[in-house]
Amino acid sequence: MYKKTTLKNGLRIITVPMKNTQAVTVLVLVGTGSKYETKDINGISHFLEHMFFKGTKKRPNTLKITEILDKVGGIYNAFTEKEFTGYWAKVDSRHTDLAIDWVSDNFLNSKIEEEEIEREKGTIIEEMNMYLDTPMLHIGDLWEKLLYGDQPAGWLIIGEKEIVKRLKRKHFLDYSKNHYTAKNTIICVAGNIDGKSVENKIKKYFKNIRKIAPKRKPKVIEKQTKPKCLVHFKKTDQTHLALGVRGYDLFSPKKYAQALLATILGGFMSSRLFISIRERRGLAYYIKTPAETYTDTGYLVTLAGIRNEKVEEAITLILKEYKSIKDRNITKAELQKAKDYLKGTLTLSLESSDAQASFYTGQELLTGKISTPEQEFKKIDQVTENDILKVAKDIFQPEKLNLALIGPFKNKEKFEKILKI
C-alpha cells in the first residue's frame, strides 16, 4: 500500500510503508532531463546532478556530504535520464531522519560554485570517454540518435565535450530555477517507516522549495519513410548492433502487447532470438530485445554483440524472427510464458525499498497516475495472441526499420541492402 499527498504548492509526497525490511529509501524525482535541454546547454541535466554532491552551507564540500552517510553504512547516488532526474539515499531505518535531511539539503541548498564546476568538467569528460570506449553502452545512444536526429530526444544525456566545456554557473542556476520546482518534484520514502510521521518531516525539510511553474519539453518529431542505418567506425573485436523499429509510447494501450512481444523475441534465455542467435549458431554472447516507452515516443530494439565476420548473417536472422512473428500467431503457451515472466520479474524487482520508490514515483511523474503491481498484472493478462499479431504487423514494417552499428566498418551500403522485412 502507498499514500500520495499533494501539497498546496504542488509538491507531491508518496509514502510506501513496507513490512519485513529494516531499510528506508528517500528518493526525490524531478521532471526534467536531457529532453528538456536546448542545444547550447545539452548535458546540463546530468552535470547538475553531479554538482549536488559538491557542497552546501551545512556540509561545505564533497567529503562532508559523503562521509555522513558512509558513517552509518548508507548508500546513495543520483541518475539522469531523458525525462527525469533522481536523487536518493538508502539507510537503516534508524537513520531515516538523517537521510531526509541529507537529500533535502543537497537538493535545495547546493552552492554550485564556479570553481567546482570547472573542476567537475574534467570528471564529466572522463565519464564521456568511458562511454565512448564501451560500445555495449554507446550503441544505445547511437540508436536513439538514429531514430530522432538533431533534437533533444536524439542528443546524448551526458552531452558533448565542447558544449560541456562552455557551461557556466549562470547556466546551472537558470536551469535549476526553471525545472527544480515544487510542481515538478515528487518525494518518496519507502521502507520501514511510519507514513504520517515521514510526511510531516518532508513538509518541514522541503518547505523552501521553489513554487514557480516548470518549463515544458518540446514535442518529439518522428519522421521516417524508409529503413535507416548508422555505422560508427571503431576498431573492435566484436560488432555491437541495435536493430529495431519505432513503436508505442507510455500512454498507448498497446504498450503491454509491445512489452510481451519484446519478451518473446529476446527477453530471456529461452526467447526466440537467444536460442536462434546464441545457442544454435554461437554468433553472440549477449543478445536481448527491450521495449522502451517514453511519454511521447517508443520503440522495440534488439541489441547484440556479434562476431565481425558474422554481422550480416545475424542481422538477417533477427529480421527473419521479426517477420516470422508478424506472419503467424504465437501459441498460447508462448504468450503465457512471457506473461508469467513479466509478472515474475516485476514481483521480484519490488522486494527492495529503492525499487518500490522508483516504481511509484516513475509512474506518478511521467503519467500523473499510479497503477499497483496487481493492476499492471491485470493489463498484462488481458493481452491475447491476436493482440501480439496486430502489434507485430503494425511495427515490423520496412519504413520503420533502423540499424545502428559500432564496429570496423566504414560504409553502410551493404547493411542497407539487407534491411528488408
Residue 129 is inside which H or E element, if any? helix 114-132
Alpha-carbon distance of 332 to 405, in angstroms, equals 35
Q: pTM to 2 decimals?
A: 0.96
Confidence category of residue 79, pLDDT binned at 50, 70, 90: very high
Cα-flanking dihedrals φ and ψ of residue 225, to 5°?
-120, -5
- Res 95 pLDDT > 90: yes
Task: Return the exposure string of 14-42: e unless at least 16 CB atoms fall within 10 Å of the residue's CB, then b.
Answer: bbbbbeebebbbbbbbbbbbbbbbeeebb
Task: State the number of CA atoms in the 13 A half-sphere of 18 facing the CB.
Answer: 22
Residue 318, helix vs strand vs coil: helix
Is domain 228-417 classified as CATH 3.40.50.300?
Answer: no
pLDDT at 1: 87
Which residues make up the CATH 3.30.830.10 domain(s) of the chain?
A: 3-205, 228-417
Helix/strand/coil percent split, the chain, to 5: 50, 20, 30
Average pLDDT, the chain: 97
List pLDDT tens digits, range 191-236. 999 999 999 999 999 999 999 999 999 999 999 999 999 999 999 9
- Res 184 pLDDT > 90: yes
* End-to-end Cα separation, the chain, in angstroms: 46
* Set 49, 83, 199, 292: catalytic member: 49
List pLDDT tens digits, range 261-273. 999 999 999 999 9
Q: Pseudo-torsion of CA 305, 311, 317, 319, nearest 10°?
A: 90
Domain with residues 3-205, CATH architecture: 2-Layer Sandwich (3.30)
Q: Is 296 exposed, middle or buried (0-12, 13-18, 19+ CB in 10 A)?
A: middle
List pLDDT tens digits, range 283-327. 999 999 999 999 999 999 999 999 999 999 999 999 999 999 999
The DSSP annotation for 202-235 comes to HHHHTTT---SPPPPPPPPP---SS-EEEEEE--
Question: How many helices (H) and strands (E) would you count in the chain?
Answer: 16, 12
Confidence category of residue 16, pLDDT binned at 50, 70, 90: very high
Give yes or no: 49 in active site.
yes
pLDDT at 209: 97
List pLDDT tens digits, range 109-137. 999 999 999 999 999 999 999 999 999 99
pLDDT at 280: 97
List pLDDT tens digits, range 347-361. 999 999 999 999 999
